[in-house]
Amino acid sequence: MHLAIRGVSKTYPNGVRALRDVTLDIPSGMYGLLGPNGAGKSSLMRTLATLQEPDVGTVTLERPDGTRIDVLREKDRLRRTLGYLPQEFGVYPSVSAERLLDHFAVLEGFTEKGARRRVVEALLRQTNLWDVRKERLGGYSGGMRQRFGIAVALLGGPELIIVDEPTAGLDPAERVRFLNLLSEIGENSVVILSTHIVEDVAELCRRMAIIDRGQILLEAEPLEAIDALRGRVWRRVVAKHELPEVERRHRVIATKLLAGRTLVHVHADERPGDEFEPVEPDLEDVYFSVMAGHEGARAAAPELVAR
């Protein structure tokens, strides 16, 4: 399975340039689309989910048997093999998870009662909702609702699964449960995880892309991207009043508080000074390094952006 995105661009009527010549090759398994709020992630996800048209570009889902689906021209065909969990989705709060999932299964084409019951039970067990299947959805926690959303998205065994900001707002325990669930479903399908949370991509995805202002800045395997940064990240603890001078003299990629002082990460090919020490990079350093370079290149030309 392979999703080929070629030259996709989108500008909204209000002038917002949401996507800029996006070209990606997304194989089977978990694929991370990482970027800040306003980067264009949701615009791309809506396009892939056939909810909006791009201005230009093509998207093709290529199957192992050699058949292809033109995502933009064969929308009904694509929707039959699409599982989509948007960032926000509504449920009927007074209805139980079991009853509503059964209803969606009928809409998906499971008209035979016995087969439908087996599918509904299997999905509720897979998403760890079987024990609470009789409870009303209005009483579910955020993480439980997200897991129910995945159960709906998995109806029919989709070949393309899109999840948009699925862990935003979840507590740590629910986030772990949800990420474990996603890791289980990403074996035989193309699964795109759109998020601004670096840890989600680091823990789940074999390949990733970083997007900002609708433009792809990096596409790579996370481990390869981290390895390419090795020996080029340095850190130093500074007082608050020292930070402006450090930012003026060095390429600062990230700062955070440490015991009331500021820990600075700097990108440089060589040690930027005796007061700096080397850092073993992680995906967060990759992300902030890429974003820092992009911000510097575009600082003189701020533009409207889309979510």
pLDDT at 304 over 50: no
What local confidence, expressed as pLDDT, does residue 186 receive? 66
pTM of the model: 0.84
For residues 99 and 244, membership in a common domain is answered with no
Q: Which of 36, 70, 38, 69 is nearest to 53 (CA)?
A: 70
What local confidence, expressed as pLDDT, does residue 300 receive? 36
pLDDT bin (cut points 50, 70, 90) of residue 301 is very low
Evaluated on CA atoms 48, 169, 95, 101, the torsion sign reads positive
Structural tokens at position 232: 């080029």
For residues 93 and 72, membership in a common domain is answered with no
For residues 19 and 91, membership in a common domain is answered with no
pLDDT in tens, 187-222: 678 999 998 889 889 888 999 999 999 999 999 999
For residues 52 and 71, membership in a common domain is answered with yes
pLDDT at 142 over 90: no
pLDDT in tens, 239-250: 888 889 988 999
Does residue 190 form part of some domain?
yes
For residues 6 and 145, membership in a common domain is answered with no
Rounded CA-CA distance 227/143 in Å is 33
Does residue 175 form part of some domain?
no
For residues 134 and 267, membership in a common domain is answered with no
Tell me if 39 sits within 8 A of 216, measured CB to CB: no
Q: Which residue has the higher pLDDT, 264 or 92?
A: 264
For residues 46 and 96, membership in a common domain is answered with no
Number of domains comprising the chain: 3
Q: Can you say how many angstroms the Cα of residue 255 is from the centroid of all Cα atoms in its chain? A: 24
Three-state DSSP class for residue 228: helix
For residues 17 and 70, membership in a common domain is answered with yes
pLDDT in tens, 38-85: 889 999 999 999 999 999 999 999 988 889 999 999 999 999 899 888
Q: Which residue has the higher pLDDT, 89 or 267?
A: 267
For residues 194 and 137, membership in a common domain is answered with no
Please spell the DSSP secondary structure of 29-87, one letter per residue.
EEEEEE--TTSSHHHHHHHHTTSS--SEEEEEEE-TTS-EEETTT-HHHHHTTEEEE-S
Does residue 148 form part of some domain?
yes
For residues 190 and 74, membership in a common domain is answered with yes
Which of 140, 157, 174 corresponds to the end of one domain? 157
For residues 73 and 192, membership in a common domain is answered with yes
CATH code of 6's domain = 3.40.50.300
Does residue 263 form part of some domain?
yes
Does residue 257 form part of some domain?
yes
What local confidence, expressed as pLDDT, does residue 294 receive? 55
Does residue 306 form part of some domain?
no
Least trusted range by pLDDT, from 11-20, 62-71, 87-96, 154-163: 87-96
Tell me if 29 sits within 8 A of 191, measured CB to CB: yes
For residues 190 and 208, membership in a common domain is answered with yes
| Structural domain span for residue 147 | 87-157
